[in-house]
């Protein structure tokens, strides 16, 4: 029996933003990302590459006011697409953990595709705008994603002085952890929970 193709496509449109997402969990890490926040596009491309998820994202929003709405809605859309693609979660590993270095920075991410949203975000980098990017918005992205996807996510920057390296290490570790969590194991024949469902 052929395995179900795990992919999703969705569009989220509000008065403030428009986001379109296509993803395939069993991909090769190909991505096509177009958002008005260039550094966020870079981070999402890094996530796709290391998660091996094929990811297409198009976003536009009221960034002349602030990037907050656009980045938050990217998290909401990506979280919903991930949930749709996972379906009943039968046969997946469920848990994932990764450490990723990026020059002087080291990030750790642990994930549980539990159906229960919870975020721990311990990333201590300067809380200010750098290189025209508000680093505070990364936490808002992950909070939106976690709440929409119903996942438990722990993100910790072990150390790092450059914000670019620090956040790229975070997204690489997140990608590696997601790759492990969504992977199928032929020994797991149902949802990976003692309850029998998730």
Residue 76 domain-assigned (yes or no): yes
List alpha helices for 95-162, DSSP H: 137-149
Q: What's the average model confidence in pLDDT over 1-14?
A: 84
Q: What's the average model confidence in pLDDT over 117-134?
A: 79
Greatest alpha-carbon pair distance for the chain in Å reads 53
How many structural domains does the chain have?
1
| Predicted TM-score (pTM) of this structure | 0.90
Residues 6+ apart with CB under 8 A from 183: 92, 93
Distance separating alpha carbons of residues 99 and 101, to the nearest angstrom: 7
Residue 192 domain-assigned (yes or no): no
Residue 46 domain-assigned (yes or no): yes
Residue 198 domain-assigned (yes or no): no
Residue 102 domain-assigned (yes or no): yes
Checking if the pLDDT of 2 tops 60, the result is no
Average predicted confidence (pLDDT) for the chain: 91
- pLDDT tens-place string over residues 41-73: 999 999 999 999 999 999 999 887 789 999 999
Residue 30 domain-assigned (yes or no): yes
The CATH number that applies at residue 35 is 3.30.230.40
Supply the DSSP string of 6-73, one letter for each residue.
Answer: -EEEEEEE-SSEEEEEEEESSS-S-EEEE-S-HHHHHHHHHHHHHHT-EEEEEEEE-TTT-SHHHHHH
Residue 196 domain-assigned (yes or no): no
Residue 97 domain-assigned (yes or no): yes
Domain that holds residue 64: 7-182
Q: What's the average model confidence in pLDDT over 152-168?
A: 94
CB atoms within 10 A of CB 5: 9
Please report the pLDDT score of residue 171 as a whole number: 98
Please report the pLDDT score of residue 129 as a whole number: 53
Q: What's the average model confidence in pLDDT over 2-14?
A: 87
pLDDT band at 1 (very low <50, low <70, confident <90, very high): very low
């Amino acid at each position: 029996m052929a395995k179900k193709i795990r992919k999703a496509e969705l569009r989220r449109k509000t008065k403030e933003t428009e986001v379109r997402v296509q993803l395939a969990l069993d991909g090769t890490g190909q991505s096509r990302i177009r958002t008005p926040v260039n550094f966020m596009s870079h981070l999402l491309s890094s996530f796709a590459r290391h998660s091996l998820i094929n990811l297409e994202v198009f976003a536009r929003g009221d960034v002349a006011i602030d990037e907050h709405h656009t980045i938050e809605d990217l998290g909401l859309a990506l979280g919903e697409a991930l949930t749709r693609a996972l379906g009943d979660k039968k046969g997946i590993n469920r848990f994932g953990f990764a450490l990723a270095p990026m020059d002087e920075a080291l990030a750790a991410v642990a994930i549980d595709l539990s159906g229960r949203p919870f975020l721990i975000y311990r990333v201590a980098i300067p809380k200010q705008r750098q290189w025209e990017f508000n680093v505070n918005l990364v936490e808002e992205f992950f909070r939106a994603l976690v709440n929409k996807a119903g996942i438990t996510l722990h993100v910790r920057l072990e150390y790092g002085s450059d914000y670019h390296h620090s956040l790229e290490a975070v997204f690489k570790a997140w990608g590696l952890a997601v790759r492990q969590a969504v992977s199928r194991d032929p020994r797991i024949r149902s949802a990976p929970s003692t309850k029998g469902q998730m």
